Amino acid sequence: MSAIRIDGATRLFGIVGDPIAQVKSPELYCELFAAAGMNAVLVPLHVLPDAFDMAMPVLMGIENIDGLIVTVPYKARAARFARRLGPTASRIRAVNALRRETDGTWSGDMFDGAGFVHAAQRKEETLRGRKVALFGAGGAGSAIGCELAAAGVVSLCIIDPQRERATALAATLHDAFPSCRIEPADALPKSVDMIVNASTVGMRQGDGMPGEIGPLDPRTLVGDVIISTEPTPLIRHAMQHGCRYINGRDMLAGQSDALMAFFVRG
Amino acid sequence: MSAIRIDGATRLFGIVGDPIAQVKSPELYCELFAAAGMNAVLVPLHVLPDAFDMAMPVLMGIENIDGLIVTVPYKARAARFARRLGPTASRIRAVNALRRETDGTWSGDMFDGAGFVHAAQRKEETLRGRKVALFGAGGAGSAIGCELAAAGVVSLCIIDPQRERATALAATLHDAFPSCRIEPADALPKSVDMIVNASTVGMRQGDGMPGEIGPLDPRTLVGDVIISTEPTPLIRHAMQHGCRYINGRDMLAGQSDALMAFFVRG
């Protein structure tokens, strides 16, 4: 591990979320910045919901802050703070990263979906042709749904306790990917061979699974965006049934190349 | 040097100033936090003057920011953001440090003067009985003037291009320390045996001395708050005349015990 040094000239990146203590980005990106020879660190910034709208312009106005990662629950709310949005972000109106451009304005894009697809590729999993159930139609769910449709899954069933969120996301993605069968649902359909949790269920101790999930066929590929030291209930369920899986750490590693390119080019 | 690690649970401290790249506090306090076994770092925060009043409440509202050091040019402006002020800060209405109390409110105090006096003690310099010329009646100058008067100097002559600032500070200190002869002046008086620069002159490349200063008696004690790798013009002048001196790094080290106690008790 490269040594971290902080001095007056250190450039800052932050990860904004609530809660924050569980995030793994600071360790990962501090290490990547140091390995790249940059005098930069990424620090956790615990911003509460009532403070978010005032905090974002202030943080973006601090001269030595060059980029922000945005995590739960702010991915959708953060999109409006970017002057320009990248392709995925503009489709789903959510960002997980913002950077200062050389002209001083800020751009945002969403790398959660790309990170998930990248992680699947690293693990040599096939996505094309899959029939997917996606739990969670928030920022991460939207991004992953978008990238899975782009990666050629044949169907995508979106489950969210806020049914209208699932319906809206299905409509957005249907317009963008007309050859993929995309629809909202209230519960896990029988015929899926891939299940992805992109909700926050599993983040808090004592959480169960994101929905009613029975025994799994071992060919079912399971994904979970939650980053934790212990396997989440869903990942544990997958392991018990001999399924292959992609967890939050896989996804974090999967998106680091794209995010580093985004941050360092700026 | 202890290794710095940053993870999601890291507590943050910041130093707020403009400019910021020259500050030495991040290296010093990151090292002190690590040595104390704390999961905490101190990062530079480059806040521009127009953004300061909005930035302070936002930074103080970030849940994992536990303390702020305030440097040039914000020591006076920062005082109003503290619910409670310590003894020196309330006398001179300027702070260089703020901390979150256990009840969530913020307190502030001013350690620049204590740091200067502490540095003098570390170097075994006598302050009692000195006749002092002080350049700069801003936050640092006010704090140092206050602590020098408390340390028993017999006279204190305050020089500032904003004459009314010098006059106001002289009046404030005169009320608090009636036995010390304190007055504003336009230029360096002849009879002093101690000269302190508490202005920002010397911070920028190409700066000269804070005022007209001729040859020095080698018994003159010289102080300069400016922290720089090269000696400032005033410190160089002192060295050329064989004078003993206290520089910005001495002062920074001198105040670290007090500031650590302030931050870590909180």
Q: What is the rounded average pLDDT of the residues B47-61?
A: 98
Q: What number is the ipTM of this complex?
A: 0.87
Q: Let me know whether A131 and A95 are in one domain.
A: no
N-to-C CA span, chain A: 25
Q: Let me know whether A98 and A125 are in one domain.
A: no
Can you give the CATH number for the domain in which A44 is found?
3.40.50.10860
Supply the pTM of this predicted model: 0.88
Q: Which residues of A touch B47 (CB under 8 A)?
A: 61-63
Quote the number of domains for chain B: 2
pLDDT score of B3: 72
Quote the mean pLDDT of chain B: 95
Q: Let me know whether A77 and A204 are in one domain.
A: no
What token pair was written down for A31?
Answer: 């290490």
Contact check, Cβ <8 Å, B48/A63: yes
Q: Let me know whether B126 and B246 are in one domain.
A: yes
Strands (DSSP E) along chain B, which ranges? 11-17, 40-46, 65-70, 84-85, 97-100, 106-109, 131-135, 155-159, 181-185, 194-197, 221-224, 245-246
For residue B3, give how far its alpha carbon lies from the nearest alpha carbon of chain A (Å). 7
- Give the residue from chain A lying closest to B53, CA to CA: A58
Residue B96: inside a domain, yes or no? yes
Q: Let me know whether B130 and B60 are in one domain.
A: no
Count CB atoms within 10 A of the CB of residue B235: 23
One-letter amino acid for residue B262 of the chain? F
- Give the residue from chain A lying closest to B8, CA to CA: A21
**Cβ(A60)–Cβ(B104) under 8 Å?**
no
Q: Let me know whether B73 and B91 are in one domain.
A: yes
Which of B66, B92, B110 finishes a domain? B110
Residue B102: inside a domain, yes or no? yes
Residue B266 has pLDDT above 70, yes or no: no
pLDDT tens-digit map of A233-263: 999 999 999 999 999 999 999 999 899 999 9
pLDDT tens-digit map of A162-203: 999 999 999 999 999 999 999 999 999 989 999 999 999 998
Q: Let me know whether A241 and A153 are in one domain.
A: yes
pLDDT score of A204: 87
Count CB atoms within 10 A of the CB of residue B34: 17
Q: Let me know whether B125 and B226 are in one domain.
A: yes
Residue A162: inside a domain, yes or no? yes
Q: What is the rounded average pLDDT of the residues A197-214?
A: 93
**Cβ(A57)–Cβ(A81) under 8 Å?**
yes
Q: Let me know whether B119 and B173 are in one domain.
A: yes
CA distance A166 to A143: 13
For residue B140, give how far its alpha carbon lies from the nearest alpha carbon of chain A (Å). 19
Q: Sheet harboring A97-100: ordered strands across? A: A40-46, A11-17, A65-70, A97-100, A106-109, A84-85
Q: Let me know whether B35 and B131 are in one domain.
A: no
Residue A230 has pLDDT above 60, yes or no: yes
Q: What is the rounded average pLDDT of the residues B202-208?
A: 90
Please give the full DSSP string across A19-58, using - where no structure is assigned: S-TT--HHHHHHHHHHHTT-SEEEEEEE--GGGHHHHHHH
Residue B89: inside a domain, yes or no? yes
Residue B108 has pLDDT above 50, yes or no: yes
Q: Let me know whether B125 and B218 are in one domain.
A: yes
What letter does residue B231 receive in the DSSP assignment?
P
pLDDT score of B183: 97
Q: What is the rounded average pLDDT of the residues A93-107?
A: 96
pLDDT score of B2: 59
Residue A94 has pLDDT above 80, yes or no: yes
**Cβ(B217)–Cβ(B208) under 8 Å?**
no
Can you give the CATH number for the domain in which A160 is found?
3.40.50.720
Which of A110, A127, A143 finishes a domain? A110
Residue B1 has pLDDT above 60, yes or no: no
CA distance A172 to B101: 47
Residue B260: inside a domain, yes or no? no
Residue A194: inside a domain, yes or no? yes
Nearest to A21 among B4, B9, B58 (CB): B9
Which of A110, A140, A169 finishes a domain? A110
Nearest to B7 among A27, A58, A64 (CB): A27
Residue B262: inside a domain, yes or no? no
Q: Which residues of B touch A46 (CB under 8 A)?
A: 62-64
The distance of Cα B21 from the centroid of its chain, to the nearest Å, equals 17
pLDDT tens-digit map of A22-81: 999 999 999 999 999 999 999 999 999 999 999 999 999 999 999 999 999 999 999 999
pLDDT tens-digit map of A128-140: 999 999 999 998 9
Q: Which residues of B touch A59 (CB under 8 A)?
A: 58
Q: Let me know whether B41 and B122 are in one domain.
A: no
Contact check, Cβ <8 Å, A61/B51: yes
**pLDDT band at B229, cuts 50/70/90?**
confident
Residue A199's domain comprises: 113-251
pLDDT: which is higher, A223 or A228: A223
Nearest to B58 among A5, A15, A58 (CB): A58
pLDDT tens-digit map of B29-42: 999 999 999 999 99
**Cβ(A251)–Cβ(A116) under 8 Å?**
yes
pLDDT score of B124: 95
Residue A2 has pLDDT above 90, yes or no: no
Residue A266 has pLDDT above 80, yes or no: no
Residue B3: inside a domain, yes or no? no
